[in-house]
Structure 1
Amino acid sequence: MFNPSRDQVRNFFIESWRKYQAKEVLTPLEHIASDLVLLHPEYQALLEDPDSLSRDFLPEDGQINPFLHLSFHLAIEEQLSIDQPSGLRAAFEACQRRRGNRHDALHDVLECLGETLFDAQRNNTQPDGPAYVSCVLRRARSN
């Protein structure tokens, strides 16, 4: 099972961004990661800062962890590519139609993924795939 450490995840995004900027050959996963960084220019300087490896991003301080955010995006891209959980791709497409752009729709899915993982941790259960898809569908139907 793939279970990278915090530093491995951070190094992956930092190295993907470095290779993209240097116009080096990227693996398919690094290509997706660099595309995600391009969608988030607010994180680019952080990925170029060597101190970002050890930095904490605390919600109590009103901070969003950019590495967690990018990791969620990466997970969602994989889920969409294989439509797992089943129905996620159609729910995402409905969100995309409502929102008018892919990135905003991805953020809807990201919010649902976060809720799903939080519930699973709180209840000490596996993530509920159908509830996750239902959350995305609710967002697709909301005003």
Structure 2
Amino acid sequence: MRTVSAARYAVGGVGLLLIGLGVWLVAEQPDPVDVFVWWAGALVLHDGIIAPLVLAVGLLLAGRPGRGLPRGALIVAASVTLVTLPLLLRPGAAANPSALPLPYGRNLLIVLVCVAVVTGAAELVRRRRARSQGDDGADG
């Protein structure tokens, strides 16, 4: 047996063990139906909204020179948004008002504006350098 095949089987075995652990942990929940509803919602959100949006943006950027900058900005913006979403969408007020005292919606907007401004400035610098060097700036 080749080393690659052995590693593949080992990783597959660990994956199956983790799936089994997950099923066991869900079965131990007082109401496993809530877990499956959350899972179905996450699946619909990812496969029905997030993945098609990512593919559409990728198609729009595919032929553009210098597409690395907007891609990086979108990755940063999406990551920050995903980290902040649970704090924005939490139901009701926190039991301890000092636990989540910040205005996360406003702060997310500030961070996204900063990402856009830094990306715009970097794009301007990239274009000026490309123009001064006499190439088309297709550094992708």
The TM-score, its normalising length taken from structure 1, stands at 0.27
| Higher RCO (CA-CA < 8 Å; seq separation 6+) | 2
Structure whose CA Rg is larger: 2
